[in-house]
Structure 1
Amino acid sequence: MSPSRRLALAAAAFLAAAPALAGCAAGFDSIVEKPYSPTEAISLKTNRITIPQAFFLGPDSGGNLPAGGTTPLYLSLVNTAETADTLVGVTTEGLGTVKLANPIALPSNQGVFTGTPTPQLVVEGLSKSLHGGESFKVNLQFANAGSVALHVPVVTRSREFAAYPAVSGAVAPPAPKPTPSAATDAAGSGH
């Protein structure tokens, strides 16, 4: 085989393997099929309300939130109107009932995060088990700006979301099963 033919075959093999190698470098808990960054994916501006971030906090990576459980809904909201507004209601389609203890005040030209110091929006009675990566339609009702609909993803409690409080009722990822040699070694070490 000629040197130029070998070089062409090596280049073709490298180009064919590059996408797979790039996916491996992203890590085991990354979502490579659906690129997503909650701070960039939403950035919705409508009715003088800007929503730069919105997500449901799901389970730890590899775990699940069981049907009937709860999950917080985190929103970053900016009221760009010259008068104050208020978030007075939130509903989801196909996920559960949103508990909003008190209306959320949105001063003019200020940002508000619904997760500090604790989540102010909690979805109760989940209609299905959540693993992370899902997306649900959310309808926000504002006193002045009216209704705003958006699709909100479920993110796993990992990477930059690991510091958020654990979700009650979450089911942890399954523990690795011991290999037969590890079980034999453990049994044999007691002698």
Structure 2
Amino acid sequence: MILTNRSAWSLRGFAVVVAAALAPAIAGCEAGANAPTQQWHQPTAGASAVVNNTIRINNVFVLGAAPDSSLTPGGSAGMFLALANNGTPDRLIAIAAPGTATAVQLPAGGVGLGNRQAVFLTGPAPQVVLHNLTRSLIGGQYVRIVLDFQRAGLVTLRVPVMPRSQYFATFSPVPASPAATPSPLASPTA
């Protein structure tokens, strides 16, 4: 069989189309069934926000109880977050959790954020604590959190309550308050 220029170009074109069609299939098989993308990995499940194009608030979440359990009213819950500032220095001076907790404890003096500085309040022990919960909290719920920055002002976030399991099992719950020790009773005298 004699190939003409026209038939040679047709075969070359066909070969290029077949190669282009097979390339993605061949490349996809190379990683195998044990590729890192096939393994479980933690998504960034927490709330995030950017304030004034300078302060980033990342991966904010409240640590809940183990699955099938809840944090009870009157108790405490840890909150975890990361902050980064690329602008004028600022300070996180307060946090409120309206409808969820009567008080939120920050590190003493608030959290300073210098220019080009990141602060990780990410544990494993909580540095931000919601005290005196006003309602039960279970994993999967959301709570309203209001962050108050000295310069940037108020920022309201809808923050998830993450159950203490899988990746979140590595975070420590709020330490229990020391139990009150009963005082010795006076013994009757004869």
Taking structure 2 as the reference length, the TM-score comes to 0.63
From 86, 90, 93, the equivalent of 1:88 is 93
Specify whether residues 132 and 40 from structure 1 end up closer, same or farther in structure 2 by C-alpha distance, changes over 3 A only. closer
- For the residue of structure 1 that corresponds to 2:155, the secondary structure is strand
Quote the Cα distance in structure 1 between the aligned partners of 2:63 and 2:46.
16
How far is the alpha carbon of 1:41 from its aligned partner?
Answer: 5.3
Quote the Cα distance in structure 1 between the aligned partners of 2:124 and 2:163.
20
How far is the alpha carbon of 1:116 from its aligned partner?
Answer: 4.1
Q: Higher mean Cα deviation, 147-156 or 92-101?
A: 92-101
Q: Does 1:46 align with 2:56?
A: no
Quote the Cα distance in structure 2 between the aligned partners of 1:45 and 1:109.
14
Alignment of 1:67-82 (within 5 A): 67-81=73-87
Equivalent in the alignment of 1:59: 65
Q: Amino acid of the residue matched to residue 98 of structure 1?
A: V
From 139, 162, 173, the equivalent of 2:169 is 162
Taking structure 1 as the reference length, the TM-score comes to 0.63
Equivalent in the alignment of 1:151: 158
Q: Amino acid of the residue matched to residue 117 of structure 2?
A: Q
How far is the alpha carbon of 1:107 from its aligned partner?
Answer: 2.0
Supply the RMSD in Å over aligned alpha carbons: 2.0
Is contact 1:59–1:167 with CA below 8 Å preserved after alignment?
Answer: no
Quote the Cα distance in structure 1 between the aligned partners of 2:126 and 2:115.
22
Q: Amino acid of the residue matched to residue 78 of structure 2?
A: P
Quote the Cα distance in structure 1 between the aligned partners of 2:123 and 2:163.
19
Question: Which structure has the larger Rg over C-alpha atoms?
Answer: 2
Percent identical residues: 36
- Cα deviations by residue, 1:36-71 (Å, 9 ceiling, x for unpaired): 94x255231122211121000001122111111000
Quote the Cα distance in structure 2 between the aligned partners of 1:143 and 1:167.
27
- For the residue of structure 2 that corresponds to 1:72, the secondary structure is strand
How far is the alpha carbon of 1:117 from its aligned partner?
Answer: 6.5
Query: Structure 2: 5+ residue runs without aligned partners?
Result: 1-41, 177-190
Q: Amino acid of the residue matched to residue 161 of structure 1?
A: F
Quote the Cα distance in structure 2 between the aligned partners of 1:117 and 1:106.
21
- For the residue of structure 1 that corresponds to 2:147, the secondary structure is strand
How far is the alpha carbon of 1:120 from its aligned partner?
Answer: 1.9
Is contact 1:40–1:52 with CA below 8 Å preserved after alignment?
Answer: no
- For the residue of structure 2 that corresponds to 1:161, the secondary structure is helix
Q: Amino acid of the residue matched to residue 99 of structure 2?
A: G
Number of aligned residues: 132
Equivalent in the alignment of 1:136: 143
Quote the Cα distance in structure 2 between the aligned partners of 1:41 and 1:56.
9
